[in-house]
A and B are shown apart, each in its own frame.
Chain A
Amino acid sequence: MDSNRTQAQRKQAVRDNIAGWLFTLPSTIVLLVFTFLPAFIVVYLSLFDTNLVGQMDFVGLANFRQLVTSGDFWGSVFRTLYFTVGSVPVAVAVSLLIAVLLNSKVRGRTFWRMGFFIPYITPLVATSIIWLYIFNPDYGMLNAALHAVGLPMSRWLTDTASAMPALILYSTWHDVGFAVIIFMAALSRVPTELLEAAQIDGASGWKTFWHVTWPMISPSTYFVVIIYTISAFKMFTQVEVLTQGGPVDATTTTGFYLYEQAFGQMHFGYASAVSIGLFVIIFLLTMLQRKVTGSKVFYG
C-alpha cells in the first residue's frame, strides 16, 4: 500500500517535470536565442574590427579605448543628459499639474485624460512628420505663433543651438501622457484623511501639496524620472525622423550614435562597445530606480 503511493507520487513527479519543462520550453528558447545569447555575442564582437561581411580583425580592447578616449561617445552621453535635463523636469511639472487638475472634482475626466494620453500612443514617425512641418523656420506654425505674440523666432531643427530644444519640445509633448497616468494613480492613493487633517490644521492648499502630497507621491516621481531617463538613452525614432542626429551632431544622442556607428558606418565592433557602454548606463539607472523606489515605497 505504502510503496504503491510512493510509486504514484513518483509518477506524478515525473509527469510534473515533463509538463513543466515542455510548457516553459518555447519561451526559454526564444529568450535564450534573442536575448541571452546576444549578450555574449556583443561582448565578443566588441573585441573585433568588423563590418560583419568579411572583415573580422581581432583588436583586443582597442574599441573600448576609443570609446573612452575619443570624445564622440561622451559627447553623445552629454547630449542625452542635456536632453534629459531639458525634458524631464518640464514633463514632471506639466504632467503633475495636469494630474492634480484632473484629480480635483472636474467633469468629463475620462475625456480630458484621453486627450492628454493620445500623443503617447500615437506612432513617433507620423507625429514627427507633423512637427517637422510645425517647426519649419520659414512657414511653420510655431514661428508664426511666436511672431504673432511678439516673441523671437528660431531656426529650430536647422540650427545647432535650437535643434535639441526642438527635439525636447516634441518628445515632451509625445511622452507627457505617460506621467499623467502614473501621477493620477499616485494622487488617488494619497489618503484623504491626511489631506483633511492638514486642512483642519489650517494649512493652505499650496502648503498641503508640498508637505503632504509631494512626499507621498515621491516614489512615482522617482519612477517617472528614471523611466524617462532610460528611454532618453534608448531614443532613436524621433531623432532619425526629425534631425538624423544633426545639424552636424547637435542631436546625436547615445541611442542614435549606436545605430549610426553600426548601420551607417558599418563599424560593428566599435558599435558593440558602444552597446556595452549603453548597457552599463541603463543598468546603473535601473539599479538606482530599484534602490530609490524600494526604500521609499508608499504603495499602501
Chain B
Amino acid sequence: MTTMRRSVMWQRVNRVLLYTAITALFLAVVFPFYWMIVTSLQPQDAVFTVPPELWPKHPTFQNYIDAWNAAPWLRYFGNTFFVASASTLISLVTSSLAAFAFATINFKGRETLFNLVLSVMMIPTATTLIPNFLIIRTLGWFDTFYALIIPFAASVFRIFLLRQYFMSTPVELWEAAQIDGASRLLYFRSIALPLAKPAIVTIAINSFLGSWTSFLWPTVMTQSQDKQLIEVALNSFLGEKGQQWSQLAAASVFTTIPIILFFFVQRQFIEGIGGGGIKG
C-alpha cells in the first residue's frame, strides 16, 4: 500500500519535472522570437538600455512604418513570391514527368539515364557555384529572374521521390485506362499525378521555402535592386541601418511572418522530414 502511494507520488514528481524541463527548453528556443517582436515595438533609443527592458514600456508601431518605407519591400516580396512560385511550378512539372517516365515507361537507355541522373546527386551545389556563375553570365542571364528560376527547374531528389510513388501505382490502373482509350498523358494527369499528391505537397513546400530563404545564390547571381529577393534585401537593409535595432527587428518580423504562417498551414512539411526525406 505504502509502496503504491509512493510510486504514485514519484509519478507526480516525474510529471512535474517533465513539464518543467520541456517548458524551460521551449522558452529558450522561442525567446529570440519574443525578443524580435519586443525589439520591433521599442522606440529606437530604448534598445540601448542596460539592462534591456523585457517588456516595452512605450510600445510603438512607428518602426514598422519607418522600416517599410525605407525600402521597396513590396517589390522584394513580389520578386520572391514570383521566383518561388515559378521555380516550384516548373520543377514540379519537369520532375513529375521525368519520374513518371522512369517509373512506368520502358524506353531505351532508361537505366543508363537514371544512373546518370542519380550520379548528379553526388555533386554538391557549393562546388558548382563558380562555374554556374560563368554559365549564367555566358547565357546572358546574370541579374535576371531566369538565373533564379531555371537552374532549379530540375531536382534529382524530387525525381527520385516521385518515382517511388509512381512505381507503387498498380499497373492494372494503366491497363484499364488504356482499354478506356486514355492516352499516356491523360493517364498521367488524371490518375498517376493525383495519387502522388502527398509527395507533390512535400516537394512544393520544400521548393517554395527553399526559394524564399535562398541567399547565397541570389547574392551571387543578381545585382540590381529591382531583382532582389527578400533575404538579400534584408541583409542590405542591415548594412544600411547598422544599429537601428528596432527597425531591423520590425523588418525581420514582417519578412519572417509569411514563412511562419505558411508553416502553420502546412504541417505536412514536418511529417515529410520525419520520414527521412531530406536533401538541402
Contact = CB atoms under 8 A, between A and B. Distances in A.
Interface in A276-300: 276, 278-279, 282-283, 286
Interface stretch (A69-77, A94-102, A157-165): A94-102
Given A23-B101, A122-B256, A30 B47 contact: no
Contact of B127 (A125, A126, A134, A279): A279
Nearest to B151: A34
Interface in B8-57: 18-19, 21-22, 25-26, 29-30, 32-33, 35-36, 39, 47-52
- Specify the main secondary structure of chain A where it touches its partner: helix
Interface string B181-202: 0001000000000000000000
Contacts, number: 265
Given A30-B150, A106-B22, A271-B130, A181 B273 contact: yes
Interface in A154-213: 173, 176-178, 181-182, 184-185
A31 B134 CA distance: 16
Contact of A139 (B48, B231, B234): B48
Interface in B109-128: 109-110, 113, 116-117, 120, 122-128
A144 B235 contact: no
Nearest to B54: A141
B215 interface: yes
A45 to B, nearest CB: 7
A234 B126 contact: yes
A116 B263 CA distance: 13
Contacts of A34: 128, 132, 135, 150-151, 154
Contact of A124 (B35, B133, B215): B215
B71 interface: no
A227 interface: yes
Interface residues of B, number: 90
Contacts of B170: none
B98 A26 contact: yes
A119 B154 CA distance: 27
A237 B215 contact: yes
Interface residues of A, number: 93
Interface of A: 16-21, 23-24, 26-31, 33-39, 41-42, 45, 52, 94, 97-98, 101-102, 104, 106, 110, 112-119, 121-127, 129-134, 138-141, 144, 147-148, 173, 176-178, 181-182, 184-185, 227, 230-231, 233-234, 236-237, 240-241, 255, 258-259, 262-263, 268, 271-272, 275-276, 278-279, 282-283, 286
5 contacts: A118-B260, A129-B252, A140-B52, A237-B215, A275-B128
